Chain A
Amino acid sequence: MLESDPHRVIEGMTVAGYATGASQGFIYVRAEYPLAVKRVRLALSQAEHMGVLGNNIFNTSFNFTIKVRLGAGAFVCGEETALIASIEGRMGRPRPRPPFPAEFGLWEHPTLINNVETFANIPPIIRKGGRWFAGIGTEKSKGTKVFALAGKIINTGLIEVPMGTPLRDIVYDIGGGIPQGKRLKAVQTGGPSGGCIPERFLDMPVDYESLAKVGSIMGSGGMIVMDETSCMVDVARFFMEFCKSESCGKCAPCRVGTRQIYDILSKITANQGSPEDLAMLEDLCDLMKSTSLCGLGQSSPNPVLTTLQYFREEYLSHIHDKNCLAGACKSLREAK
């Protein structure tokens, strides 16, 4: 969004600033996306030059400026209180809510904080009206959603679909299906802490409620397609490795829990799993979900829990039969 249409985000933020009485906005963007940074900075200077940003916008008394802040490589800074801490110049660690940023946010001021995609939706809503926007999507999830389609799929890249589009349409019509005629196994949505949706739910509509029902999330709009060569235990291990290294370390359940879960999954994929491991995984996932401080810790068990639920036979075959059904785990292949 920031790379292809930054003015839409700037306009949305300015409207939001006008609505809430704010005069200062911040765009927080990861330093790992230099193109987005470059283009959003260019767009900001264009907007200021044209007088739609800055003092006395359109000759009114409304002033609004936007500054760009760069992230320093921490996933957890997507969590709103950690993001605010990062903008303030402190370490990107979340704090307990309440108080929510709307009451107690950036530099202790009431703060409106939203995703780029949310702000980008505002200009067309203002122009065409809320009824038009509500006409797109489902009963409860309105509008469209951008997904980053990736993995074992022919057409990868960013797609925008109305909420409620069946998963099958996304994978086979837009995505063009699975390469080399392989079978689809699962679709993982929502970024590293989203769940894996098995093939049998392919006809479900993609909206907030349906995703939550199968144990996944909309999250960042990531969508990774996996075929029969993906080992679901290894997939869970991969995502947990990411969450372990991105855990900020503030709260005990996430700091130690991600490491313990990662260790167990590594053990299973290295042909050293034991039958009690599954119960311990479930136990640790439940602990993290219920007691972690922020969204990262509460959602990072999702890939493990959904694969345990939908692909339990793969875990069991690793442990009991010393067999990786997908043939992906090297040490189990060699042991044969």
Chain B
Amino acid sequence: MKDHSRTNVRSDLNPSRLLTFRIDDRDVSAHENESILTVARQNGITIPTLCHLDGLSERGACRLCIVEIKGINKLLPACVTFPRQDMEVITASERVVGYRKKILELLFTERNHVCAVCVSNGHCELQNLAVELGVSHVRYPYLYPHLAVDASHSRFSVDHNRCVLCLRCVRVCDEIEGAHTWDIMGRGITSQVITDLNQPWGSSETCTGCGKCVQVCPTGALSEKGKSVAEMIKRRQFLPYLQMMRGRQDTSWTK
């Protein structure tokens, strides 16, 4: 279901109000409506992310960008948490890094992520995250689900075995292309992205064939046809223009 009315600007945050706070013992300044993630990146501080993509609404769902904030017991996702004056953020404590690794390991066990035979081998965000965080092995048992590959579209294919359910495809299709071909079906561990009420992608009447979903997909789940192993390099150059033209102030809280 589309909700055009959703402007998703947080009315309680004033973009013209400036504040200062600390990230990893560094004093930084920010606008009130800039997330901790945005400010960290402006200051060259890396926080790993997976579901986040500049230009799309935020979900706060992959939990990889969790950070510690002094005085708050809970770990909060940097992508949807906004700084307050004098807040102290710690982005890479031992505790947080440990949890990030474990979440990443869980994602590896969830589907069949076999890099050696993947079109995105070497250009995959999941793989890069594992390298960055030093995940060299997975301590939890692999679930080895039996999942389908849909190659019915003339130019693209979707391999659910490689999907991490970041839902970037769903968001880019809905929010940018306006087609809302992609959506999500099921719940829990049985969740799956679908095209047109779970019909084959090739038979979709809403898909415009723009391919934005393929380009924003972090892994090899969505790829262009005709690419062999390690050949699917995503082209994201269009994203900054979309943001600029749309003048998006803030992002969704609702997906």
Report A's interface with B, CB cutoff 8 A.
Answer: 74, 76, 85, 88-91, 93, 95-96, 98-99, 103-104, 108, 244-253, 255-260, 263, 280, 283-284, 287, 290-293
Contact = CB atoms under 8 A, between A and B. Distances in A.
Nearest to A248: B187
A252 B10 contact: no
Interface in B1-47: 1, 3, 6, 10-12
Nearest to A249: B191
Contact of A253 (B3, B63, B81): B63
Contacts, number: 114
Given A256-B107, A260-B140, A247 B63 contact: no
B232 interface: no
- Most chain A Cβ neighbours within 10 Å, of B81, B188, B190, B253: B188
Contacts of A247: 187-189
Interface stretch (B86-94, B98-106, B206-214): B98-106
Contact of A252 (B1, B81, B103): B103
Interface residues of B, number: 42
B77 interface: yes
Given A96-B80, A99-B12, A292-B63, A287 B187 contact: no
A85 B187 contact: no
Given A89-B1, A252-B63, A244 B188 contact: yes
A250 B189 CA distance: 9
B1 A253 contact: no
Given A250-B61, A252-B106, A263-B141, A95 B253 contact: yes
B126 to A, nearest CB: 11
21 contacts: A95-B253, A95-B254, A96-B253, A99-B12, A104-B10, A104-B253, A244-B189, A247-B188, A249-B188, A249-B190, A252-B165, A253-B106, A256-B107, A259-B143, A260-B106, A260-B109, A284-B140, A287-B102, A287-B106, A290-B74, A290-B99
Nearest to A256: B106
A291 B103 contact: yes
Contacts of A88: 3
Q: Which 5 A-B pairs have the closest CB atoms?
A: A249-B191, A96-B60, A247-B188, A256-B106, A259-B189
B58 to A, nearest CB: 8
Which of B11, B62, B102, B255 counts the most A-chain CB atoms under 10 A from its CB? B102
A91 B255 CA distance: 9
B147 interface: no
B110 interface: yes
Interface in B163-189: 164-165, 184, 186-189
Contact of A291 (B6, B10, B66): B66
Interface centre among A91, A96, A287 (most CB of B within 10 A): A96
Contact of B187 (A74, A104, A108): A74
A263 B143 CA distance: 9
A256 B189 contact: yes
A288 B108 CA distance: 16
B77 A96 contact: yes
A256 B62 CA distance: 11
A256 B99 contact: no
Contacts of A257: 106
B146 interface: no
Contact of B59 (A250, A258, A292): A250
B140 A280 contact: yes
A283 B143 CA distance: 18
Nearest to A91: B184
A290 B254 CA distance: 22
B139 interface: yes
A249 B254 contact: no
Nearest to A92: B187
B133 interface: no
